[in-house]
Amino acid sequence: MNINSSTNRNLSNRTTKTRKLTTIGMLSAISIVLGLTGYGFIPLPGIKATIMHVPVIIGAILEGPVVGMTIGLIFGIFSIFQNMAVPSLLSFALINPLVSVLPRVIIGITSYYCYRIFPGKEENPVKIGVGAFIGSLTNTIGVLGMIYVLYAARFAQAKHMDPSLVGKTILGIAAGNGIPEAIVAMFITIPVVLAIKKIKK
């Protein structure tokens, strides 16, 4: 057995683990700061696009689905505490882990695998953009979809609307917010991922 080879492999594994833990801590902190300060919302014509899920996407593309899922888990748990501390109109739904946590964890999976499956080199901006776009839509569709499945009646009551209109309303919100948020996520994720990949090389 080559002792030097074994030592180098162990050192490489420790370095990789340290890098991934650092990435999780740094990107999770960024996501939380974006939520606490309000900088996680970008005003667009008619809406405010959220970018608090972008660190989850970046972590997944750079370090793999497990890292992305872990950042998503932390982001989701923070979202629950935030809605408990500062209740909003939909906090009754957002304190449920199936609404706030599960979709954010899944972002790490969809972002990474859409990025990996799309043809092209790792530094291909289109490849990175596809992962970011799908990951962002995962957040929108996941959260709103779970609200519809679990809380359609309470959503209608909170919005003072006919329960029969809940599906169309949520679909409209998903389209109106989800597409702009996905585009914003692409524009942020692509240069950040390219810059970090360049530095790592």
DSSP string, 77-132: HHHHHHHHHS--TTHHHHTSHHHHTHHHHHHHHHHHHHHHHSSS-TT-HHHHHHHH
| pLDDT value of position 46 | 54
| pLDDT value of position 4 | 59
Pull the structure tokens for residue 143.
Answer: 């959260």
- Residue 51 region by backbone torsions, left for phi larger than 0, else alpha for psi between -120 and 50, else beta: alpha
Tens digit of each residue's pLDDT (9 = 90 or more) over 134-169: 999 999 999 999 999 999 999 999 989 999 999 999
In a domain, 3, yes or no: no
| pLDDT value of position 43 | 67
Q: How confident is the model at residue 38 (pLDDT cuts 50, 70, 90)?
A: confident
In a domain, 4, yes or no: no
Beta bridge partners of 41: 50
In a domain, 149, yes or no: yes
Instruction: Tell me: pLDDT of 10 over 80.
Output: no
Residue 145 structural domain? 12-200
Tens digit of each residue's pLDDT (9 = 90 or more) over 106-129: 999 999 999 999 999 989 999 999
Give the number of other CB atoms < 10 A from CB of residue 167. Answer: 11
In a domain, 5, yes or no: no
| pLDDT value of position 63 | 95
Residues 54 and 111 sit within 8 Å (Cβ to Cβ):
no
In a domain, 193, yes or no: yes
201: helix, strand or coil: coil
Residues 137 and 9 sit within 8 Å (Cβ to Cβ):
no
In a domain, 27, yes or no: yes
In a domain, 183, yes or no: yes
Q: pLDDT: is 7 or 30 the higher one?
A: 30
- Which residues have CB under 8 Å from 22's CB, separation 6+? none
If one counts the domains in the chain, the total is 1
Any idea what the CATH number is for the domain that residue 57 is in? 1.10.1760.20
In a domain, 7, yes or no: no
Percent of the chain with pLDDT over 70: 91
| pLDDT value of position 174 | 92
Q: H-type helices in the chain, by residue range? A: 3-37, 54-63, 65-85, 91-94, 97-100, 102-117, 125-159, 166-200
Average pLDDT of span 61-78 = 95
Tens digit of each residue's pLDDT (9 = 90 or more) over 74-101: 999 999 998 999 888 889 999 999 999 9
Report pTM.
0.89
Summary mean pLDDT of the chain: 90
CA distance 79 to 103: 12
CA distance 94 to 78: 11
Q: pLDDT: is 133 or 6 the higher one?
A: 133
Tens digit of each residue's pLDDT (9 = 90 or more) over 39-60: 887 766 655 678 999 999 999 9
